[in-house]
């Protein structure tokens, strides 16, 4: 059985590094112009969002792997799930959702089905039934 030696940091070095870091950040920011600070912040935000997109892409890839579907099929399934309209929903959101789904689809049978739903929603919206 082998025992791993854990690396321990020198507390004095840690304190010194922390002390310098606490001073260095504000000192650097004070030297920058507002435009430079804005650009630096913009780059930091873009880096964070890039990491988030990377993680999201990883999760979508994992889901795709498990479901055995292509990425486009998976994206379409997610979009359709977000665009489900209840038969009794007569809100403006329901009308816009149905219009969006009609625009997204290529299937004539689905267009007929969605058009029928849209007619019912508008009828109930107009006559209050």
Element spanning 30, H or E: helix 11-31
**Consecutive 10-residue averages of pLDDT for the chain (129 residues):** 64 79 79 89 84 70 60 66 64 83 84 88 78
CA distance linking residue 29 with residue 26, whole number of Å: 5
pLDDT at res. 59: 64
Domain ranges of the chain: 17-68, 83-129
CA distance linking residue 73 with residue 29, whole number of Å: 47
3-state secondary structure of 4: coil
Can you list the positions of beta strands (E) in the chain?
none
The pTM for the full model equals 0.35
pLDDT at res. 16: 77
């Amino acid at each position: 059985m082998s025992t791993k030696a854990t690396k321990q940091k020198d507390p004095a070095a840690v304190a010194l590094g922390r002390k310098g870091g606490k001073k260095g950040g504000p000192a650097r920011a004070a030297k920058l112009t507002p435009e430079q600070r804005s650009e630096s912040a913009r780059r930091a935000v873009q880096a964070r969002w890039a990491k988030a997109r990377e993680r999201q892409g990883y999760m979508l890839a994992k889901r795709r792997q498990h479901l055995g579907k292509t990425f486009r099929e998976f994206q379409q399934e997610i979009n359709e799930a977000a665009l489900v309209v209840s038969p009794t929903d007569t809100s403006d959101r329901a009308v816009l959702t149905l219009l969006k789904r009609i625009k997204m689809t290529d299937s004539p049978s689905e267009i007929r089905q969605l058009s029928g739903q849209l007619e019912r929603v508008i009828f109930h919206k107009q006559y209050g039934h």
